[in-house]
Amino acid sequence: MRHAPILLMLVTLLAGCSTAPVTGRQQLILVSEEQIAEQGRVAYQQILTEKGASSDSRLNTTVQRVGERIVASADVPAWNWRFAVIDDSTPNAFALPGGYVGVNSGLFQVVEGEDQLAAVIGHEIGHVAARHHAERVSRQALVDTGVSTVGGDTGLANVLAAGATLGLILPFSRDQESEADAIGLRYMAEAGYDPRAAVQVWRNFKRLGSAGGPQFLATHPAPEERIKRLEALLPEAMAVYESRRS
């Protein structure tokens, strides 16, 4: 445990070095942008290899158009963002560090129109912009490795890198989901998409869930909770949306 003071000092120094967009929340980030972006690339390629990309040109064109519009309007990392429709019937989507965004073909069973699609893509890009993946990997590394590994032969960077891929595919915390909702709502409004569509998306998911919907909903806040929070955020988001239309 001789390295505990070193780790405590490191955590203290880094905890205030990253701030989530829109919410302004201070974050603990112990992994570099380069490290986490590389892990995002690896995870993205793995998903494409396992599930494959959809050949539906209409869906791919729509996702590309909506995604590029959000990225162009939002305060996001200047990566070469990539958008793909994944051949998966589960109604879900994801975004990974490095600018990799995937929308499952099954999501189009739930979303109706580009505004609702923008709500989902904005939410997923919000996770990346807020560095939720790096935050989660950082926290998990501290828990899993313990303070005794810091300063050893492998070093913290190697420990984080080894656990990064696993960290990327684990469910986000409910707090991070709520934060991504708030960020995504702002991003879609800035891109000129109607924020009210985000509320409707979760009404759609609520109906799907009541009919024995996708298992991934169990790891997310209940649709009722999300709807209430989004409705509370709507006045500010609508003001942004209206200002972009004027």
pLDDT tens-digit profile of 175-224?
888 899 999 999 999 999 999 999 999 999 888 764 444 444 445 667 78
The structure tokens listed for 55 are: 């050949």
pLDDT of residue 190: 96
Work out the widest C-alpha separation in the chain, in whole angstroms.
61
Nearest to 120 by CA among 135, 140, 100, 104: 104
The structure tokens listed for 200 are: 């409707």
Read off the pTM. 0.81
By annotation, the residues acting in catalysis are: 124
**Where residue 103 falls among pLDDT bands split at 50, 70, 90?**
very high
pLDDT of 237 > 50? The answer is yes
In contact, 137 and 114? CB cutoff 8 Å: no
The most confident of the ranges 20-29, 167-176, 236-245 is 236-245
Percent of the chain residues past pLDDT 90, beyond the cut: 52
pLDDT of 9 > 70? The answer is no
In contact, 44 and 96? CB cutoff 8 Å: yes
pLDDT of residue 35: 85
